Chain A
Amino acid sequence: MAVFDQNKADLLSDFEQSLKELTFPALPVIENLTEIARENTDVADKILQLIKTRIAKSIPDHKLASLYLFDSIVKKIGPPYNILVGDEIFEIYSNSYLLVNDKTRQRLSNLFETWKNTKSKGSNSPLFPRNQMDKIERFLQQANKSKSGNEGDAYGSGSGSGPGSGFNTASSTAPSSTHTTPGSTPSLPNKPMLMDHSKSTLTNASLIKDIDTLIPFSQNKLRNNPSDSKLQERINALSKLRTLLASQNMSVKELQTIQDRLRNIMQQEFGSSGSSTPTGMNTIPVQTPVPVVATTIHSSLSSSTSPSQSNIANEFFNMLIASGLVKVDQSLIPGSHPKYELKFPRIIKTGSVGNSISSASNSALERLLYGAKNGLTGEIGKTSSNMNNINNNTNTNTNGGVVGFETLKNIELNKLNVDPKNLQKFISSNKPSSVSISLLYDSKPSKCGTCGKRFSDDENGIQKRRLHLDWHFRVNKRLSSNTSTTGGKGGIIQSRNWYLDGYDWVKFKDENLLEYSTNGADSANAMNSLSLSSSSKASTPTPGSNSNNPNSIDGLLLNDGRVPFVVIPTNETNMINKCQICQDQINATYDDDSGEWRWVNCIKAPGEGKNSRKIFHATCFLEANKKRGADGDLNVKVKREKI
């Protein structure tokens, strides 16, 4: 047993080496490794162990590649691999899922979709054990919910029947239909598209899944609150949408748009349930009864939905049509079946105040979607090409189950429903709800103990708060050191600056005055020491550099406008490093222009050798230096790696 064939040992160490090089899903490498795995099923357990280790230990950005390899092996080879790993699949999957970014998460959930429909090679049993798959399913639902701003307990209350039924419907309708006619839905991949980075892997099915998570939640809410007719309407509308999705092929773009709307409905749903006030429930005021457009709709839809559904649902569907979101294509021949298509406006009109908020032609639904869009962007007029960007924004805003302040604000503002035609009435008679007033206060829950400034709990707010507190600390230190050295009274401290002239003022950006600027006059000295020693071609300070330096919030620029970085030595094997000051992990990034791997926003510790791994965040270093600078001038020579 312990005697181990030398060939196999070599093979395994080669395999391990190849795994390490698998940083992105390279098709030939994965195919090659899959072949090796196929030919060496006798050491399947060892190979799996290597892959599992690689998945667990590699940096998040590299995990996807190993997971795809894993996927390729279990699908193409099947037993014994999928059997061996069966009981751990949830653990492997969820651990990875938690660590990767949102883009990769989307890929992972697509990967999971494919697992559900794949049979174990050469048999009719599922690829992975049912209980593990169910666990993942629930896990993903929970993750999606918390991503859309759920506050945790909402899932708990809905979990009684919700996720289970959600899973059942998802697996029974959408995927099975695609399973039986695989050719008709090429958008649902049977295996992950290994080389495909650019194209979104959004599918009808995944959207249906989204709806399926939303419906049980709403149903549950309705059970607690049976008198709420609007909830009922929404549930019906959602199921209509679901039917539509299940029966039509959509382009990726359309799907993405729908997805965005759905996310925001979710956000509203869960967001409002988080606030305890009962008024918060009325998220969609349905005001204008929309005339029924086509009576034939009912006939075509009743085939797929239960006949007991009231005509409120039809009304909602008609609203979809009336608002132009669903296009009806019906030939003029009597009795022909109408065709439905989802349409979303590419650009939402950026009208003046006069007509943009709620002109009479807007249906309640459009306003809802409109609001949802605003919730994402904070401004309107973005084209759908920006959708990806917007998506990212939401994701960062909502990380960790916190609804971003922007989102919250925009939802609230939409609810206020200010009539631009009659501002006077609103100003004189509106009774602001406690929810809207809390926008000014509790929506930004952390209040600075020194100056009373408020910060939100979203990522942006946390970041700003950190910079704000740092800034207070720095200023206090500076102010107190000033007075103590000059003996308090009579010491020359500082004086007012001249005002800017018209031209400079027009060009001036106020962010240079704020604590979020890492490059104000305050840090000018430290910056100089950084940049002067940075290169032989010493950067000459631009005129007016005290006020006009570019800056960024999360990084910091040298005076010549470049981001500091440390080039990773070519012989370095561990790409992950940490800042010696804040101990945060620093990941490597690849610079296309120079072909180097770099630790960006970092500088090397002073006096360290070329291959030293001791690095600091430039900001941390600056901060530390500043603090020391307050105690006495310490001129640290900083060496910055040059290309």
Chain B
Amino acid sequence: MKSRRQHLLSPFISAAMSVIPGFSTGVSTDSDIVVDSGSKKFTELHIPSQSEWRVEIPFQTVLKLNVVSGIAEIYGTELPNNVEMTFSGAKISIYAPQTESNTGCTIKYTTGIKKSNQSGMSSGSNGSENEITEYISEEESSMVQNINLHFVLESIRQQTNEGPRVMVIGNSQSGKTSLLKTLAAYALKMDRSPILVNLNPQEGVYSLPGSLTATPISDMFEVESTNGWGNTTTSGVTFHNPKQPIVKNYGFEKFNENMDLYKYQVSKLGVAVMSRLEEDAEVRQSGVLVDTPALTIKDFTIIENIVSDFEINMIVVIGNERLVIELRKKFRHKVNNPLNIVKLTKSGGVVEVDEAFVRNLQQQTIREYFYGTLKSPLSPYNTNIDFKDLVIYKTVESSEFNPSLAFLPSGDDFTPEVDDSDMMDEGNGNRKSNEFSLDKYYSKVEEPDASLLSNTILAITQLPANDKSAKNLMNTSVMGYAYVSDVDDAKKKMRILLPVPGTLPRNILIVTGIRYIE
């Protein structure tokens, strides 16, 4: 087992792994990996029942972990016993669930420093920066309420033919995503496969930051991968079963950078999810779990939109009593069409994450998209393409857009057209009054250049070549992402990194506001 994993080192990921002497046997050591001689020994640790071991692992540090005995889980996903797991650049919490014996669990771990000239991220490796921070929670874990919530959801699934459609709201870093991971992992243990919807563009869930995704959780999360999500499908086999998301482009990491586009894409994602529920009895009976960016009562129109787009019937508010009360007031009219609003207390284990950590995580997410995980490494493909073959759009930032229109009350200004006949004539300006206008969302890039494209992530749309319909552009989903590594303005060419070998399958691209440095 161990030696097999050692073989898997991909050119890049290998950097993320340090070899601990005495841990791997007789495997050639990669030159990129330098062993931190200071931490050869395993520390054994007992986590009492219903306690959490919270640990923050910097990006330069590798934590190797073995569950020696008992049951240990990370956000609901149970860890295998006596299997070495590797974590880096993560803040995790290992929970020892309450069991018959109530003995908790025992783990052993060791840390190492990865020293890599490829990593390109945080440069300093001086002492304390690379130390892990770890402690065992003292206060009562908030897991009990999560378990209760899980049983509520499961009894709804049991009683009705339709799974609950749950939306989680809370401040930034209040534990929304961790809660949803736990709920999805528990649902999985009940043989369900709920759809996990991510509407927080800051995090890429089975995709890159800047995207909005919906993914049926039909198998376990891969806790070792970035943010603990895992792989989507690949051309070969993966160590874990992959997931299959649908991806909508938004292009920014904050939902309010272009509210119109955000709302439009949320509603389109909602349509896709609702259609999937109709088609797929298994996910219909499992329900939908919606993750959101940090929304407050000021963003009520967005909350209202999400509730109607995803036919939400339960809102879970984390750690914000006031928001609960205000939402109950505002949603009074939904009494006949049950909308439960419940609150959970915020877990004491939620840690403030600084900006740099978020950036690093995003970079790691993007890298994982192209290069895969440690257990399932992938090989992306570099290619050169001419600008002339491409139709490039870019997402419009609200501030760039005509301010007189931006003042319209949000939520009222946008009605998706039912009319499918698209009369827009490119560059002609001759439009019917009821015609769909792209202005608020995307603008066409006539003269692409290095200043716009360098180091950006391009969303490759599913549109067939030369589809000029604005409506179609708005409604399409993302086929994949490309990374622009180099732009040659003189030759009108650029070098891009594609996840899939071969030529670019589509020629309509959208420049996102997401950047990546390899």
Binding site for B on A (CB under 8 A): 350-354, 356-357, 374, 378-381, 405-406, 409-410, 413, 416, 418, 420, 423-424, 426-428, 430-432, 434, 436-442, 444, 447-454, 474-476, 478-480, 482-484, 488-490, 492-502, 505-511, 513-515, 521-522, 547
Judge whether A499 and B247 touch: CB under 8 Å.
Answer: yes
Cβ-defined partner of B158 (8 Å) among A378, A440, A510, A522: A378
A-B contact pairs, 7 of them (CB 8 A): A356-B159, A380-B161, A440-B189, A489-B14, A498-B480, A509-B282, A514-B219
Binding stretch for chain A, among B127-135, B440-448, B497-505 = B497-505
Contacts A423-B314, A452-B220, A494-B237 aside, 14 further interface pairs with beta carbons under 8 A come to A350-B160, A353-B160, A423-B152, A441-B97, A447-B81, A451-B80, A475-B237, A489-B9, A493-B10, A494-B378, A496-B378, A506-B275, A513-B233, A513-B243
Chain A CB within 8 A of B292 CB: no
Given A423-B342, A475-B239, A476-B4, A510 contacting B279 (CB threshold 8 A): no
Q: Mark B412-430, 1 if CB is under 8 A from A, else 0.
A: 0000000000000000000
Judge whether A496 and B500 touch: CB under 8 Å.
Answer: yes
Q: Report B-chain residues with C-beta under 8 Å of the C-beta of A438.
A: 99-100
Judge whether B80 and A448 touch: CB under 8 Å.
Answer: yes
Judge whether A513 and B99 touch: CB under 8 Å.
Answer: no
Most buried by A among B154, B243, B499: B154
Binding stretch for chain A, among B57-65, B116-124, B348-356, B369-377 = B369-377
- The residue in chain A whose Cβ has the minimal distance to the Cβ of B462 is A501
Judge whether B152 and A418 touch: CB under 8 Å.
Answer: yes
Judge whether B232 and A379 touch: CB under 8 Å.
Answer: no
Q: Report B-chain residues with C-beta under 8 Å of the C-beta of A423.
A: 152, 314, 340, 342
- The residue in chain A whose Cβ has the minimal distance to the Cβ of B271 is A502
Judge whether A495 and B500 touch: CB under 8 Å.
Answer: yes
Chain A CB within 8 A of B218 CB: yes
Chain A CB within 8 A of B403 CB: no
Judge whether B233 and A497 touch: CB under 8 Å.
Answer: yes
Judge whether B499 and A410 touch: CB under 8 Å.
Answer: no
Q: Report B-chain residues with C-beta under 8 Å of the C-beta of A499.
A: 207, 232, 245-247, 477-480
In angstroms, Cα B242 to Cα A357, docked, is 36
From residue B87, how far is it (CB to closest CB) to chain A in Å?
15
Cβ-defined partner of B155 (8 Å) among A413, A476, A500, A506: A413
Chain A CB within 8 A of B402 CB: no
Q: Report A-chain residues with C-beta under 8 Å of the C-beta of B238.
A: 475
From residue A242, how far is it (CB to closest CB) to chain B in Å?
31
Interface residues of B in 269-290 (CB under 8 A from A): 272, 275-276, 279-280, 282-283, 285
From residue A422, how far is it (CB to closest CB) to chain B in Å?
10
Q: Mark B367-387, 1 if CB is under 8 A from A, else 0.
A: 001101000111111000000
Cβ-defined partner of A495 (8 Å) among B164, B280, B313, B499: B499
- The residue in chain A whose Cβ has the minimal distance to the Cβ of B102 is A434
Judge whether A506 and B152 touch: CB under 8 Å.
Answer: no
Q: Report B-chain residues with C-beta under 8 Å of the C-beta of A490.
A: 11
Judge whether B381 and A501 touch: CB under 8 Å.
Answer: no
Judge whether B80 and A350 touch: CB under 8 Å.
Answer: no
Given A423-B152, A509-B280, A495 contacting B161 (CB threshold 8 A): no
In angstroms, Cα B280 to Cα A474, docked, is 28
- The residue in chain B whose Cβ has the minimal distance to the Cβ of A370 is B159
Judge whether B342 and A432 touch: CB under 8 Å.
Answer: no
Chain B interface residue number, banded: 35 or more
Chain A CB within 8 A of B330 CB: no
Chain A CB within 8 A of B43 CB: no
Judge whether A380 and B80 touch: CB under 8 Å.
Answer: no
Interface residues of B in 471-509 (CB under 8 A from A): 475-480, 499-501, 505
Judge whether A424 and B147 touch: CB under 8 Å.
Answer: no
Cβ-defined partner of A513 (8 Å) among B150, B241, B343: B241
In angstroms, Cα B479 to Cα A420, docked, is 41
Chain A CB within 8 A of B139 CB: no
From residue A377, how far is it (CB to closest CB) to chain B in Å?
10
Cβ-defined partner of B236 (8 Å) among A440, A478, A513: A478
Chain A CB within 8 A of B20 CB: no
Q: Report B-chain residues with C-beta under 8 Å of the C-beta of A478.
A: 236-237
Cβ-defined partner of B499 (8 Å) among A436, A496, A514: A496
In angstroms, Cα B189 to Cα A454, docked, is 8
Judge whether B501 and A495 touch: CB under 8 Å.
Answer: yes
Q: Report B-chain residues with C-beta under 8 Å of the C-beta of A442.
A: 99-100
Chain A CB within 8 A of B34 CB: no
In angstroms, Cα B219 to Cα A315, docked, is 48
Judge whether B9 and A510 touch: CB under 8 Å.
Answer: no
In angstroms, Cα B37 to Cα A80, docked, is 90
Judge whether A506 and B151 touch: CB under 8 Å.
Answer: no
Chain A CB within 8 A of B465 CB: no
In angstroms, Cα B154 to Cα A426, docked, is 13
Judge whether B80 and A450 touch: CB under 8 Å.
Answer: yes
Given A454-B78, A478-B236, A505-B246, A413 contacting B160 (CB threshold 8 A): no
Judge whether B380 and A495 touch: CB under 8 Å.
Answer: yes
In angstroms, Cα B178 to Cα A201, docked, is 54
In angstroms, Cα B152 to Cα A420, docked, is 8
- The residue in chain A whose Cβ has the minimal distance to the Cβ of B377 is A493
Q: Report B-chain residues with C-beta under 8 Å of the C-beta of A474.
A: 237
In angstroms, Cα B191 to Cα A340, docked, is 42
In angstroms, Cα B391 to Cα A393, docked, is 56
Given A379-B158, A416-B151, A513-B243, A453 contacting B220 (CB threshold 8 A): yes
In angstroms, Cα B158 to Cα A380, docked, is 8
Q: Report B-chain residues with C-beta under 8 Å of the C-beta of A547.
A: 233, 244
From residue B477, how far is it (CB to closest CB) to chain A in Å?
5
Chain A CB within 8 A of B30 CB: yes
Chain A CB within 8 A of B405 CB: no
Most buried by B among A350, A381, A475, A497: A497
Most buried by B among A353, A444, A480, A514: A353
In angstroms, Cα B280 to Cα A493, docked, is 33
In angstroms, Cα B157 to Cα A374, docked, is 11
Judge whether B244 and A510 touch: CB under 8 Å.
Answer: yes
Interface residues of B in 193-239 (CB under 8 A from A): 193, 207, 216, 218-220, 231-239
